[in-house]
A and B are shown apart, each in its own frame.
Chain A
Amino acid sequence: MRMKFLALAAVALLAACESTPNDAANGANTGAQQTSVRPGSAEDFVVNVGDRVFFGLDRYDLSPEARATLDRQAKWLQTYGSVTVTVEGHADERGTREYNLALGERRANSVKNYLAAKGITPNRVNVVSYGKERPAVVGSNEAAWSQNRRGVTVVN
């Protein structure tokens, strides 16, 4: 998922570089719209909004960065009112399996509750926890673990 994200971001950046000076002045955000990314699509959400937020060790509260990302997600979801999403909650590998399933569920609900507070109807937001079963980054160090303690909003 992360690889895909990076690849798409790279495409967006490349598109921005190759566009005319006038277009480039609009910034990378709109640059992506000049590629094949369709507004309102899952790709649009990943590239132009940001699909994930990260959590502290054994935490499920939202950092200011996470809130900023979720504010953009809420805005996008208001624009595309028929879209439903699934929030996937994940944990790093440094916990027992069952506890991490519960922790992932907590994290997914933190995201869902924040989106709800921003006006997104809860029945548009499904949650699922993968615990430590689906790391985004493979590795046994804090750099990997901090990327794996995450909530990922997936367009259905």
Chain B
Amino acid sequence: MTTKTRLLLKLAGATGALLLSLGVAAPQEARAELRIDITRGVSEPLPIAITSFAGSGGRDAQMGADISKVISDDLERSGLFKPLDPRGFLQTPDQLRTGEPRYQDWKALGAQALVAGNTTTGADGRMKVDFRLWDVAAGQYMQGLSYSASPQEWRRIAHIVADAIYKRLTGEDGYFDTRIVYVAESGPANSRKKQLAIMDQDSANHQFLTDGQTLVLTPRFSPTSQEITYMSYFNKKPRVYLFNIDTGRQEVLGDFPGMTFAPRFSPDGNKVIMSMAQNGNTDIYTLDLRTRRQTQLTDAPGIDTGPSYSPDGQRIVFESDRGGTQQLYTMSADGSGVKRLTFGEGRYGTPVWSPRGDLIAFTRQRGSSFAIGVIRPDGTGERILTESFHVEGPTWAPNGRVLMFFKDLPSGDGRGRNAKLYSIDITGANERRVSSPVDASDPAWSPLIP
């Protein structure tokens, strides 16, 4: 799966219109619409009944059941939903396909939302998936959509359906139709093998992108293309590279006399911002991917690294030890207007600006522990989300609601480290392992797949 075929998403005109008009025709009630307030933090997850997307039988039935499972798992992992055990369901998918939900039955199960769907394969071999969503308490139809795609893309369809349900019930964009690029780790700690790997957000469709012959670090997704920027020790010359996921082509970025590292794309995808270290001094540079022009943004003595753009491209957050210890600063995109952001006890690094613009995530080191936290771009509202012997390297889900990072425990003598990926809600709730076939560090979350 090096080449990921572009998914053709189609809002099926007829079906969609019919379903949506049914929704409008449903009786309007004065009560508040079913909605999860996700800004509130830890709350009871919403009980939701997700019936099998079983088709008319055979292969469609199996695929329908698999699609339901992926949707259910996505919603469950978000921490905002509690999918109910299908064994308690009293209405079959067939009954829901042809008739109205028996709201009383679903209410009795404790369901507040109900999802039904159907999977069929057309004569052209394309798969069609439609789903409908009801507010059980209000006895109201909420939404119905239909998608078609090649059957190989069934997991993506499931993630897209989960995103649609998430959006309808939270008011926020979903993040399930996304991928994670990370550094897969194996071997002894003093000669760790590190290779780039990529997988879906739910750990499916895993593949290695590099062979592990060369040390690689800190991959980051392009916001606009199937490309990754990362750091590689190819030929023992540590430099920032560009990796094309579709073609596997790698190229060094820029012509710098010293080590380049800590790369990230600009929000428009046209530039890569990075650090260059030379003669014991580290500054921040940009490389324009179209003109190949290199621009120096900082020239303070000391270490300026970890740059990350605000989503509007106007500001940059970075870390610097110019004040004596490692702290976060912001500056304009041209390098002017530097302001110190953090004044807390400890050291602050790896800043990354939320795609929503409202928060900056960071790693804080204080005493014998590391923590992942967030702070507003004006320096207020600093909050620690999780703390451990070693946590590092937060990355944002595209909706700015969830962070992923890596965590490892102290290594005993002669034993390797055991870094693993975790995700956490920006409220600090719902910290969970993100499974990977081998040890994992430096995760980077993709934008929603186009």
Contacts and interface: CB of A to CB of B under 8 A. Distances in A.
B48 interface: no
A97 B280 contact: no
Interface in B311-355: 319, 321, 326, 347, 349-350
Nearest to B236: A128
A101 B232 CA distance: 12
B413 interface: yes
A138 to B, nearest CB: 4
Contact of A94 (B277, B280, B365, B413): B365
A135 B190 CA distance: 5
A93 interface: yes
B65 to A, nearest CB: 42
A103 B416 CA distance: 23
B390 interface: yes
A62 interface: no
A18 B36 CA distance: 80
Contacts of A94: 365
A97 B218 contact: yes
B183 to A, nearest CB: 10
Nearest to A60: B280
Interface residues of B, number: 45
Nearest to B277: A105
Interface string B243-276: 0000000000000001101100000000000010
A98 B238 contact: no
B291 interface: no
A96 interface: yes
Contacts of A134: 190-192
Contact of B393 (A95, A97, A136): A97
Nearest to B306: A98
Interface string A116-156: 00000000000011100111111110001000000000000
B350 A109 contact: no
Contact of A135 (B189, B237, B238, B261): B189
Contacts of B393: 96-97
Interface in B192-208: 192, 194
A83 interface: no
A96 B277 CA distance: 16
B62 to A, nearest CB: 44
Contacts of B389: 140
A136 B410 contact: no
Contacts of B118: none
B169 interface: no
Contacts of B305: 98-99, 101-102
Contact of B188 (A96, A102, A129, A138): A138
Interface in A60-95: 60, 86, 93-95
Contacts of A99: 303, 305-306, 319, 321, 326, 347, 349
A110 interface: yes
B441 to A, nearest CB: 8
A138 B218 contact: no
B277 A102 contact: yes
Nearest to A103: B303
A59 to B, nearest CB: 12
Contacts of A144: 413
Contacts of A105: 258-259, 277-278, 280, 282
Interface string B377-389: 0000000000001
A106 interface: yes
Contacts of B194: 133
A130 B194 CA distance: 13
Interface in B403-432: 410-416
A96 B365 contact: yes
B413 A139 contact: yes
Contacts of A139: 411-413
A101 B259 CA distance: 9
Nearest to A122: B279
A156 to B, nearest CB: 10
Contacts of A130: 215
Contacts of B215: 130, 133
Given A128-B259, A129-B238, A140-B410, A98 B349 contact: yes
A128 to B, nearest CB: 6
A97 B190 contact: no
Contacts of A93: 390
A113 B280 CA distance: 10
Contact of A96 (B190, B363, B411, B415): B363
A128 B277 contact: no
10 contacts: A96-B350, A98-B218, A98-B305, A101-B217, A102-B261, A102-B275, A105-B278, A106-B277, A110-B280, A134-B190
Given A101-B305, A129-B277, 16 more contacts: A60-B280, A96-B365, A97-B442, A98-B262, A99-B305, A99-B347, A102-B261, A102-B303, A102-B305, A105-B280, A105-B282, A106-B277, A128-B236, A134-B190, A136-B190, A140-B389
Closest 8 pairs between A and B when the two form their complex, measured CB to CB: A140-B410, A109-B280, A96-B349, A105-B277, A102-B282, A102-B303, A98-B262, A138-B189
